[in-house]
Structure 1
Amino acid sequence: MGAASARAWGRLGWRGLALATTGIAWISYGASITVQPRYGTVRGISVLLDLMCMAAWGWLWIGAGVLALGFSVARAGRDLVGVFAAMGPPLLWALAYALGGAVGTSPTAWGSVAPWASHALIIAIVAYVTRPRLIVPRMVTRGGE
């Protein structure tokens, strides 16, 4: 059991764990807004509802979650689709809430901008900190040239 968990952790690491966790969260959130959207969510993102219905937005979250979860086992650098899938929906929601607050459809929408945007920022930080390092050999010169 210990060897299997060590092998799984060696494959995932912090970056993969962040993508897997986010993928599961987005699948769950997408399913909830597809089946039973909350009034505050519908009101807050109302600027997006002219583009697609709430169920379609839920399926977008589910699709992004599947991509993030699927790419969680990819090597760092080859998982950028998963990283963007993990960051895209919360950034879109943050923008929608900001616009909803700006146009007055929801007077409390501004309170949801930072929480959604912060999750995307956390994914970006994890992706940056765990990015593959390029090893470039140092050039050796003679005589200080």
Structure 2
Amino acid sequence: MPCRAARRLYKALGRRGAFLLILGVGKTCWGVSFLVDPPEDHGLDLLTDLCSLRHWSWLWIVCGLVTFGSAFLRIGRDRLGFFAAFIPPTVWALAYTVAVITGDYSRGGFVAIWYLTSHVGVIWWASTVPEYSVPPAPRPPRRGKAP
């Protein structure tokens, strides 16, 4: 029964929707972790000069919820979800890049590249993938009379 429900959900969401659903849950959980127990702010001085990481956690939470909600929209209308998923890692990458330039956090360059590749790059790529780009598997030839 659970497998049937999972297949039905996946069929309703499609590939893009499933991706947005996973991203939305992940970003929301990441934001809640900043809210519950904020980590050290190494390299995030650009952000923490404006407000605390507890406040910045709401960026992850809100964008995660928008991404999650967009998973249930039709293709073409799900663009808002991809854009919302794109915002938090871009902000974090920018903060780490500034920290490297100012000399506050030398490791920040690697973290910025990680955010830009494994988050922003993957989101951009997934937003361009059409829902049904893979042709269906060929059927085996029928046995019997030829038409």
- Please classify the TM superposition score into its range, dividing by the shorter chain length: 0.7 to 0.9
User: Could you tell me how far 1:5 is from its partner in structure 2?
Assistant: 3.5
Q: Which residue of 1 aligns with 2:11?
A: 10
Letter in 1 for 2:121: L
- Pairwise mapping of residues 11-26 of structure 1 onto structure 2 (< 5 A)? 11-26=12-27
How many angstroms apart in 2 are the aligned matches of 1:107 and 1:3? 49
- Pairwise mapping of residues 28-107 of structure 1 onto structure 2 (< 5 A)? 28-39=29-40, 42-107=41-106
Tell me, yes or no, if the aligned pair for 1:77 and 1:132 is still in contact at 8 Å: no
TM-score, structure 1 normalization: 0.82
- Gapped regions of structure 1 (runs ≥ 5): 134-145
Deviations 1:88-133 (A, max 9, x none): 1011111111111111121211110111112111111111012699
How many residue pairs are counted as aligned between the two chains?
Answer: 131
Q: 1:9 to 1:46 in 2, by over 3 A?
A: same
Structure 1's consecutive aligned runs of 4 or more residues displaced over 4 angstroms after TM superposition are: none
Deviations 1:65-86 (A, max 9, x none): 1110011111111011111111
Letter in 1 for 2:80: V
Q: Which residue of 2 aligns with 1:117?
A: 116
- Gapped regions of structure 2 (runs ≥ 5): 134-147
Tell me, yes or no, if the aligned pair for 1:18 and 1:123 is still in contact at 8 Å: no
How many angstroms apart in 2 are the aligned matches of 1:47 and 1:105? 10
TM-score, structure 2 normalization: 0.81
Identity %: 33
